[in-house]
């Protein structure tokens, strides 16, 4: 994808100016921890020492996964369409939280098996079963990635300043675990969790299916686009595009849970500099959650054992960032109150 050659590193000068601003505020150095780091990252992404995230959106990529036929989930694929329509109607968890933090919600049907009322950017009616072959063609994977990139471009043009990634798709913890296993070089049993609530028997089945899918498809971690096509889902591919689009159009993009983190890891494999445009929100209770964030060099400020998805955890980061930005902009400075500055020791 030639467009990825246009990705440049975030603005180090803006980040340094933001760090200097933090150090001028009359408080112990670094005492807001990861939130100081997050503001500096926002500054680098937006290219200004006064970043603004007041215009925000969550984009929920909705798609079905053919691997559901292997019995790896508690629900069947019909739930994807039902939950997608609930998001569009404004009644889902993501809508309630988004309203509380003043964020717009955009639900995108990028591959739901049934018709939905979400924005129609359907690549196909769900992916194929990864335990029987590749999830999608190379062309379908590229189309899904490009869809995410195009959505970020649209949001840039309408003035969105930060994007939260979300997803809805029964079976997507299976595809996320399969991708994670290959990307991190770890056995499926070490990165696979219970998803929406599997018992021990179904968890063992899920791990076995992922092992079979990897053996059959023989993916190469050094070929991330091919890996995504073989083991991923349209929702993950679309979110991969959101992360790449954030880097292309200089919009910070928030990682939600483990599925979003898997997409972020694929994006970073495709374009390493895109990782500089990502923000971690919470660390998923799924086993791969922390492993994926570690691989991206990111720490999540929220440690709450969340696993709801839809972008809910990512949205919960926003009011915490608002608080940090309020201190950053408005708190008194050492010079302002004629107090001797702290120095690093």
Mean pLDDT of 308-316: 96
Confidence of residue 2 (pLDDT cuts 50, 70, 90): confident
Q: How many CB atoms lie within 10 A of CB 61?
A: 36
Please report the pLDDT score of residue 1 as a whole number: 80
What percentage of the chain carries pLDDT values higher than 70?
A: 100
Please report the pLDDT score of residue 132 as a whole number: 98
Q: How many CB atoms lie within 10 A of CB 125?
A: 16
In this model, does residue 14 exceed pLDDT 90? yes
In this model, does residue 303 exceed pLDDT 90? yes
| Residues carrying an active site annotation | 310
C-alpha span between 43 and 47 (Å, rounded)? 6
C-alpha span between 225 and 191 (Å, rounded)? 21
In this model, does residue 339 exceed pLDDT 90? no
In this model, does residue 345 exceed pLDDT 80? no
Dump the DSSP string for 185-208: T--HHHH---TTT--HHHHHHHHH
Whether the CB-CB separation of 71 and 205 falls below 8 Å is answered with: yes
Please report the pLDDT score of residue 343 as a whole number: 81
What percentage of the chain carries pLDDT values higher than 90?
A: 92
What sign has the CA pseudo-torsion 46, 51, 57, 60?
A: positive
Q: What is the pLDDT of residues 255-281, one digit of tens each?
A: 999 999 999 999 999 999 999 999 999
Choice among 73-82, 94-103, 219-228, 332-341 with the minimum mean pLDDT? 332-341
Residue 58, helix vs strand vs coil: strand
Please report the pLDDT score of residue 209 as a whole number: 97
User: What residues have CB less than 8 Å from 239, skipping those under 6 apart?
Assistant: 61, 148, 165, 167, 259, 260, 263, 264
C-alpha span between 201 and 25 (Å, rounded)? 55
**CA-closest candidate to residue 268, choices 277, 280, 281, 258:** 277
Pull the structure tokens for residue 317.
């980061």
Choice among 136-140, 278-282, 286-290 with the minimum mean pLDDT? 286-290
Give me the phi and psi of 258, to 5 degrees please.
-70, -35
Please report the pLDDT score of residue 16 as a whole number: 98
End-to-end Cα spacing for the chain:
46
Confidence of residue 58 (pLDDT cuts 50, 70, 90): very high
Q: What is the pLDDT of residues 173-208, one digit of tens each?
A: 999 999 999 999 999 999 999 987 889 999 999 999
Confidence of residue 340 (pLDDT cuts 50, 70, 90): confident
Q: Going from the N-terminus, what domains does the chain have, and what CATH number goes with each?
A: 56-320 (3.40.50.10210)
Whether the CB-CB separation of 317 and 282 falls below 8 Å is answered with: yes
Length of the chain: 345
Please report the pLDDT score of residue 27 as a whole number: 95
Please report the pLDDT score of residue 344 as a whole number: 79
- Per-residue buried b or exposed e for 166-194, using 16+ beta carbons within 10 Å of the residue's own CB: bbbbbbbbbbbbbbbbbbbebebbebbbb
In this model, does residue 341 exceed pLDDT 90? no
**CA 1, 291, 107: angle at the middle one, nearest 5?**
55
Give me the phi and psi of 239, to 5 degrees please.
-70, -35
C-alpha span between 221 and 119 (Å, rounded)? 32
Please report the pLDDT score of residue 3 as a whole number: 87
In this model, does residue 96 exceed pLDDT 90? yes
Please report the pLDDT score of residue 338 as a whole number: 85
Q: How many CB atoms lie within 10 A of CB 96?
A: 13
Average pLDDT, the chain: 96
């Amino acid at each position: 994808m030639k467009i990825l050659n246009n990705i440049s590193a975030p603005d180090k000068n803006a980040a340094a100016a933001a760090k200097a601003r933090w150090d001028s505020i009359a408080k112990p150095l670094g005492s807001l921890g990861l939130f100081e780091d997050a503001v500096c990252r926002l500054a680098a992404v937006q290219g200004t020492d006064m970043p603004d995230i007041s215009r925000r959106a969550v984009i929920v990529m909705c798609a079905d996964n053919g691997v559901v036929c292997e019995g790896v989930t508690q629900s069947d694929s019909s739930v994807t369409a039902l939950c997608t329509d609930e998001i569009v109607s404004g009644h889902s968890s993501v809508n309630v939280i988004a309203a509380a933090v003043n964020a717009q919600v955009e639900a995108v049907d990028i591959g739901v098996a049934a018709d939905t009322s979400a924005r129609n950017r359907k690549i196909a009616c769900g992916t194929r079963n990864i335990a029987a072959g590749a999830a999608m063609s190379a062309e379908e994977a590229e189309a899904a990635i490009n869809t995410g990139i195009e959505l970020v471009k649209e949001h840039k043009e309408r003035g969105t300043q930060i994007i939260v990634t979300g997803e809805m798709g029964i079976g997507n913890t299976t595809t996320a675990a399969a991708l994670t296993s290959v990307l991190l070089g770890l056995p499926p049993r070490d990165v696979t969790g219970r998803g929406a609530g599997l018992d021990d028997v179904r968890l063992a089945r899920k791990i076995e299916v992922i092992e079979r899918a990897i053996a059959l498809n023989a993916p190469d971690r050094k070929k991330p686009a091919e890996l995504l096509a073989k083991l991923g889902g349209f929702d993950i591919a679309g979110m991969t595009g959101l992360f790449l689009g954030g880097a292309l159009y200089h919009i910070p993009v928030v990682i939600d849970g483990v599925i979003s983190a898997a997409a972020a890891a694929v994006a970073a494999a495709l374009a390493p500099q895109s990782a500089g445009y990502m923000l971690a929100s919470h660390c998923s209770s799924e086993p791969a959650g922390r492993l994926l964030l570690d691989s991206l060099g990111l720490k999540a400020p929220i440690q709450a054992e969340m696993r709801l998805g839809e972008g809910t955890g990512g949205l919960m980061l926003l009011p915490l960032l608002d608080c940090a930005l309020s201190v950053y902009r408005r708190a008194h400075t050492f010079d302002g109150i004629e107090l001797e500055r702290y120095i690093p020791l």
